[in-house]
């Protein structure tokens, strides 16, 4: 936490925008420094994510990469996943996002296809809520990863 709290504004903005491509979210998280501990930081990050408008979420979604498959996945799976992504984007107008933290590489493909197919049945308003929650979860995991990368080996989340 010391590194996070002491980081320059530019370094912190770069780190936070890598977690969630929302300048509003990044500013809100940065503006509340210093954080006494990781749980306080994560709570603030969650709160900032919950407060994002649909325009903020659309901006963040536009910069999200598609989930990737393990390198040894067979080509038919890539074709199926590409088709599912295309159907999702055609229906909702943005990329499919999902937090796969804790999912083993051998389960990634099945989890992705199952989630896309399931969420294609959502109405657009319902999917906005789901996508926003997935972005929040992704931001949280990326933030934890960034903290670990800054030498915070004691983080156990």
pLDDT digits over 55-102, tens only?
Answer: 999 999 999 987 777 777 778 887 888 899 999 999 999 999 999 988
Cβ partners under 8 Å of residue 19, min gap 6? 45, 138, 139, 142, 143, 146
> What is the phi/psi pair of residue 78, to 5°?
-60, -40
Domain 66-133 sits in CATH 3.50.50.60: no
Q: Domain boundaries in the chain?
A: 2-59+138-149, 66-133
Q: Are 144 and 18 in contact (CB under 8 A)?
A: no
pLDDT beyond 50 at 155? no
Task: Give the model's pLDDT for residue 152.
Answer: 42
Model confidence at 154, pLDDT cuts 50, 70, 90, reads very low
Alpha helices in 51-104 (DSSP H): 54-62, 75-92
For a pLDDT cut of 90, what percent of the chain falls above it? 75
Task: Give the model's pLDDT for residue 23.
Answer: 96
Q: Round to whole Å and give the CA distance between 31 and 9.
A: 10
Task: Give the model's pLDDT for residue 157.
Answer: 36
CB atoms within 10 A of CB 104: 9
Task: Give the model's pLDDT for residue 150.
Answer: 61
Exposed (0-12), middle (13-18) or buried (19+): which is 128, by Cβ within 10 Å? middle
Which H or E run contains 145? helix 124-149
Q: Are 132 and 48 in contact (CB under 8 A)?
A: no
| Residue-wise pLDDT tens digits, 140-149 | 999 999 998 8
DSSP code of residue 21: -
């Amino acid at each position: 936490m010391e590194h996070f709290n002491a980081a320059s504004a530019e370094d912190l903005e770069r780190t936070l925008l890598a977690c969630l491509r929302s300048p509003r979210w990044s500013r809100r998280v940065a503006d509340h420094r210093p954080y006494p501990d990781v749980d306080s930081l994560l709570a603030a990050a969650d709160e900032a994510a919950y407060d994002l408008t649909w325009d903020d979420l659309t901006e963040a979604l536009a910069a999200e990469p598609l989930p990737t498959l393990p390198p040894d996945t067979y080509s038919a799976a890539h074709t199926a996943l590409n088709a599912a992504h295309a159907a999702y984007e055609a229906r909702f107008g943005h990329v499919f996002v999902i937090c796969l933290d804790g999912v083993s590489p051998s389960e990634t493909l099945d989890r992705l296809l199952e989630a896309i197919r399931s969420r294609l049945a959502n109405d657009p308003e319902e999917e906005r809520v789901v996508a926003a929650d997935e972005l929040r979860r992704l931001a949280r995991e990326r933030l934890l990863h960034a903290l670990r990368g800054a030498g915070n080996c004691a983080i156990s989340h």
